[in-house]
Amino acid sequence: MTSRILVISYHYLRSKEDIPHPGIHPLTPESFLRQIHSIQQNHPVLSPSQFETWMDGSSADASSVLLTFDDGLRDHLYAAAELEKSGLRGAFFVCSRPALDNKALPVHKVHWLRAHTPPGDFLNQFAALLSDDWQQMVAQPPEDIRRAAAETYQFDAPDTQVLKYLINFVLPYECVDEITSRMLVGHGLDEMTFCALSYLTNEEIHDLSRRGHLIGCHGHLHLPFSRLARGKLQEDVAKNKAYIHTVTGAQAGWLAYPYGSDWSLPADTGMFAARAGIRAAFTYTRGWNTQSTPRHRLCRIDCNELEAHLTVC
């Protein structure tokens, strides 16, 4: 039987007790452990180095799994420690803006604010800080925006889908960045404090690498790569790669595309990967990878989709 590998992505791993409103959709630590134990009982879990040799043509068991973790969140210290108890290693994709600029990624500020603000209040507060034209877009989004939002954020309610899509794909990055920082101040949080609470430190990232986990790129700004002109995209990824090399001493050859959907990718993923020196680039195209899957468009699923793709107990 031809070997195939399912790549699983994790983000927030934390208790839901301190999250009063929808916004952060974490997997609880207990659920994470159950998933990992169940996966191990049914499927071999590959290390990043084993996945890389498989891409180069070596054999692997028929239905294996690779575990990945996005965004460089502090939650992932727990994940790494638990994996190591079973002799497992994962791939951790980090952004560099929090460390280099002491600025949080807008996507995480939005998640936190939505989780700590009643849904209607968040929408009203955010929209009130927009210009009139953008307020109209939020109130009456075109059909193509609604459709794209539904495909991208399938786990959210329609109004939330639209808002998240506009924030991440349509509104100017600087606009969302400024508004969310102002809203954080309203909750008594400055940018540096939020970064300290949310992201891995340089020392922690170095330690993950030292312990055998792979540290990969996730962009400097965590912008959809489709929103960046070629020169700006090269600059963004080069800054991200240089940061990882400085912290770990290793050259980052893996990348997870921010957001990962087709419309968030660079126009020519093969050319992009070649220019950036990327050996493996992961999308959110659902499904299993075979050795014929292009390395610059590898498939990946979210951990919430596990049962639809994998045999679990």
pLDDT per residue, tens digit, the chain (313 aa), is: 578 999 999 999 999 888 999 888 899 999 999 999 999 999 999 999 999 999 998 887 779 999 999 999 999 999 999 999 999 999 999 999 999 999 999 999 999 999 999 988 888 898 889 888 888 887 888 999 889 888 888 777 787 788 788 887 888 899 999 999 999 999 999 999 999 999 999 999 999 999 999 999 999 999 999 999 999 999 999 999 999 999 999 999 999 999 999 989 999 999 999 999 999 999 999 999 999 999 999 999 999 998 888 765 4
Cβ neighbours, 10 Å, residue 124: 12
**How many residues in the chain?**
313
Residues of the chain with CATH 3.20.20.370: 4-102+201-309
- CATH 3.20.20.370 is held by the domain 4-102+201-309: yes
**Cβ neighbourhood burial of 229 (10 Å; 0-12, 13-18, 19+):** exposed
Contact residues for 144 (Cβ-Cβ < 8 A; gap 6+)? none
Nearest to 91 by CA among 254, 311, 229: 254
